[in-house]
Amino acid sequence: MKIKSDLKKTIGIIIIIIFFTIEKLCASGFLPVKDDSLHFEVLLNNKMLSEAHLDIKFIESLETTSNRLIMLSSVNKFYLLGRGGLKPVGQKIADTINSFAYTPDGFLMVIRNKEICYIDSTGNLARLRKLPCRNMKISAGKNAMYLYDQNKDKEKYALCILAKGGKFDTLVVVHSPITSVVEMDKKILFSMDNALFSFDPKNKELKAIASLQQDKKIISATIDTSSNTIYLSTENALYAIKDSRLINLTDEFGGMLKYYINGLLVFDTEKIFLIRIIGIEDILASKTKNTTNNNQPTETLTNSSIISLVKEKLSDELIIKIINRSRADFNMSANAVIALTNQNVSSAVIEAMEKAMENNPNGQ
């Protein structure tokens, strides 16, 4: 349910803004970002928590309210970040909060164990329905909620939809944990391991959009709907996809993402810092203008990347699409091809790798 209005009024409606230029951030050692056209709003960090005498272990979930407050949570308590700083809100939850998100019409949905719940009029969790597995994550679309499985050590992982009226359905099943889900142009974008995919629920079409290097695992994604820019993060890097180009923004930090009031929120729950980055659009415009890779992502695929995709049990068709959309630096020597075959890489994929190197012999 919606947070009670009296609690909202107590906290206020304006996010506390602390402006720092890049030079000040670098001088303090907080964020060593090099581009001086960016600005940061530091919304929360360890020092602020310490000064407020708060010791909180946040979960990896982040929301914004209709009153322009930021909602965070520990495993059993919600917090709102606003004019008065970080304030607890509502009652302590008896069970563990795993994930939360607002529905399109403003109700707070919470995942606990194997249930999806809502906040009732007393401030307690009330069960809405049972879920197919424990500790799923939840995110909001324009007209529906998406639930996804990121529990490890399973053979199959489901992406599900909860539509208005309580209709629940499984959209797609994949072979790796799903780490984030967002909606864009009536399509559902989701990440798993180092790749981002697009799923069209109308025709059930699954496409690969971009892939990072094998050791870079995507942990969060968000959309700037005004410019159709996709933002991705790993634990220590930020990327943007603009006009089909994958652009590295920084290799200095990452975290949970949310696009918010013309800026990008980045929340690192381990280091405990929450910032809003302003000015990314100018950086993207500059980098896009100077990009000459004809709409191809900037990351480079290697033999190890392909073996990793095969182990994730992606279809040959999907792997070939990733190859065709990416820079490639494959080793196609006789011994390397034998090694690929021994790792169950199909002849069709190997042929696509060979064609990629013929078209881009220098890995361009």
Q: Are residues 176 and 308 in the same domain?
A: no
* One domain for residues 276 and 195: yes
Q: How far apart are CA 45 and CA 30, in angstroms?
A: 10
* Neighbour tally for 292: CB within 10 Å: 7
Is the residue at 364 inside a domain?
A: no
Q: 294 lies in a domain?
A: no
pLDDT for res 139: 96
CB 208 within 8 A of CB 244: no
Strands (E) located in 50-204: 63-64, 70-73, 78-82, 85-89, 99-102, 108-112, 115-119, 125-130, 137-140, 144-148, 157-163, 168-174, 180-184, 187-192, 195-200
Q: Among candidates 172, 167, 112, 127, which has minimal Cα distance to 148? A: 172
Q: Provide the token pair at 318.
A: 């999907």
Measured from the Cβ of residue 334, the count of other Cβ atoms closer than 10 Å reads 7
CATH number, domain of 228, equals 2.130.10.10
The reply to whether 183 and 249 lie within a common domain is yes
- Judge if 330 and 200 occupy the same domain: no
Torsion 337-341-343-349 (CA) sign: positive
User: Which tokens sit at 56?
Assistant: 């909180």
Q: pLDDT of the chain along its 364 residues, tens only?
A: 433 343 333 323 222 222 332 333 333 333 334 444 668 888 999 989 998 899 999 999 999 998 889 999 999 999 999 877 899 988 888 888 999 999 988 889 999 989 999 888 777 788 999 998 888 999 999 999 999 998 887 888 999 999 988 899 999 998 889 999 999 988 999 999 889 999 999 888 888 888 888 788 999 999 998 888 999 999 999 999 988 888 888 888 999 999 988 899 999 999 999 999 988 887 777 665 654 444 444 467 889 889 888 887 778 888 888 888 778 889 999 889 988 988 999 999 999 999 999 887 654 4
Q: Positive or negative CA dihedral for 129, 140, 232, 304?
A: positive
Domains: count for the chain? 2
Determine the pLDDT at residue 138. 97
Are 119 and 189 within one domain? yes
Same domain, 285 and 311: no
Q: Are 143 and 163 in contact (CB under 8 A)?
A: yes
Q: How far apart are CA 154 and CA 133, in angstroms?
A: 11
Using the 3D structure, point to which of 239, 267, 289 is the last residue of a domain: 289
Residue 295 lies in a domain: no
**Claim to verify: residue 77 and residue 166 sit in the same structural domain:** yes
Residues listed for the chain? 364
The domain in which residue 353 lies consists of 300-359
Same domain, 193 and 328: no
Mark whether 312 and 207 lie in a shared domain: no
Q: Note whether residue 278 is domain-resident.
A: yes
In a domain, 221, yes or no: yes
Tell me, yes or no, whether 96 lies in a domain: yes
The answer to whether residue 46 is domain-embedded is: yes
Nearest residue to 133 (alpha-carbon basis) of 157, 109, 117: 157
Q: Map residue 284 onto helix, strand or coil.
A: helix
Residues 283 and 352 in one domain: no
- CB crowding 13-27: b at 16 or more within 10 Å, else e: eebbeeebebeebee
Question: Does residue 193 share a domain with residue 159?
Answer: yes
Query: What's the rounded Cα separation, in Å, for the pair 158 and 138?
Result: 12
Residue 206 lies in a domain: yes
Whether residue 60 is found in the same domain as residue 28: yes
Yes or no: say if 211 and 194 are a contact pair by the CB < 8 Å rule. yes
Domain boundary among 289, 318, 340: 289
